[in-house]
Chain A
């Protein structure tokens, strides 16, 4: 097996919270979480609220410093990376957030939004910014003629496509999706999942896919890590975790998912 693209070892995040009477209390949001992501693979991290999945994502994306543990990217320790090292990391690892509108500057045109990561990297796109913005828009299925529009002129699904296009601007090796399809309507969600899968097929990068919805995870992940109370309780290939969950918490989680009567589904599909 080749060296993993990203390796997190015992990532831990503790927060100090002030209890009653100003007493300080420590709260461990993420407790010694270890993960590996290989190039071209999708690792999903699933869990309910408070499980620590988003804190894990933030540490892996280097948006938050871990209290303990290490993060390696392509074999290099980036746990405390600053300056040029951090910029290099950002050139390889990008994030797509849950709410497209709050993560896109409402006063910037799509072109400016899409080329911002390159400006940060100090790179000048070969064919010029406009050409790059248009190319990215085509890749995510947006009309390139709309590159001078503002985020508010797009629907939620389109705005999320802009967020995805921005992540792709620097040709990253890893894209971290933090509940990237959770806020979308189900029909739009299906299209965005399909887009994410197509982009991975085309470009061969990896995803860390943070989600609470196991049914969505099933559509996109190669491997799944289930988190509960700051720890990974189960990890394995997607098919195995869903078909044969080992941990009692995973079983509870899977059993709680509302399902459509499979007989109704079968009859509808049979009728065409």
Chain B
């Protein structure tokens, strides 16, 4: 399998009043084309910082070391301008809260169109067709008409579908999904996970799926990276991590999840 994304010894450091703090320490993993890698951890584990580092979206003041290569091209040390050309075109990201990622004053169609034309140019008319296709692809009914709706006119699950449409409109090689289903109801979550898995199969996009939810990870990722306090404590195939975890932390985490099918000892 050819590697799409190679992260090597990634360290992210923040200056604080108590000196420099490493929020991500020596994290290394790879994502193949067509592959989903899950990053799982509790709050403060550094999982989101890792994904923001890949996208070049770390907060000001963050210092990165190591290497992040996308299709063989080094991403660390790029200027904001260069990263803007990569974001959306080669690598896209979706977040937990679609409502705060969408502009409430513009129709969703316009926002997807803006993303497309920023990278591909072309007429508004041509882009309109692409937008409708993108919305249809994520299962929005009547895409031509709904493109003219504003974000608040959609449900939470539909808004996340719209974010996914926007992220994929330029057919990026890599999609980073940071807790994309965390804010959603469990039945809607199941739909979005199916949608993401289906789109990935269809388009061959590599995916980094960041979540705190081990059960979600086990249903979508082929390989799993477990993070704890900035460190990579475990990295392997999902089967390996879930059936024979090497690290005590992973074991503890797995034991903590309430199981729906287990006998309850009272």
- Interface on A for B, CB 8 Å cutoff? 48-49, 156, 185-190, 193, 197, 212-216, 218-219, 238, 242, 252-265, 267-268, 271
CB-CB under 8 A from B260, the residues of chain A are 214-215, 218, 242, 254, 257, 259
B101 at the interface (CB under 8 A from A): no
Assembled-state Cα–Cα distance A219/B257 (Å): 10
CB-CB under 8 A from B261, the residues of chain A are 259, 262
Q: Is there an interface contact between B242 and A215, defined as CB atoms closer than 8 Å? A: no
In the complex, residue of chain B having the shortest beta-carbon distance to the beta carbon of A254: B260
CB-CB nearest 8 A-B residue pairs: A48-B185, A264-B242, A185-B42, A258-B215, A256-B190, A215-B258, A264-B243, A190-B256
In the complex, what's the smallest C-beta–C-beta distance from A38 to chain B, in angstroms?
Answer: 16
Interface size classification for chain B: 35 or more
Q: Is there an interface contact between B212 and A186, defined as CB atoms closer than 8 Å? A: yes
By secondary structure, the B interface counts as: helix
CB-CB under 8 A from A190, the residues of chain B are 255-258
Q: Which of B156, B215, B256 contacts A259 (CB 8 A)?
A: B215
CB-CB under 8 A from A258, the residues of chain B are 189-190, 193, 213, 215-216, 218-219
Q: Is there an interface contact between A219 and B212, defined as CB atoms closer than 8 Å? A: no
CB-CB under 8 A from B74, the residues of chain A are none
Q: Which of B42, B186, B189, B243 contacts A186 (CB 8 A)?
A: B42
| Given known A-B contacts A258-B216, A258-B218, A260-B215, A265 and B259 have beta carbons under 8 A apart | yes
B204 at the interface (CB under 8 A from A): no
Assembled-state Cα–Cα distance A163/B75 (Å): 45
CB-CB under 8 A from A212, the residues of chain B are 185-186
| Given known A-B contacts A218-B258, A258-B218, A186 and B253 have beta carbons under 8 A apart | yes
Q: Is there an interface contact between A219 and B214, defined as CB atoms closer than 8 Å? A: no
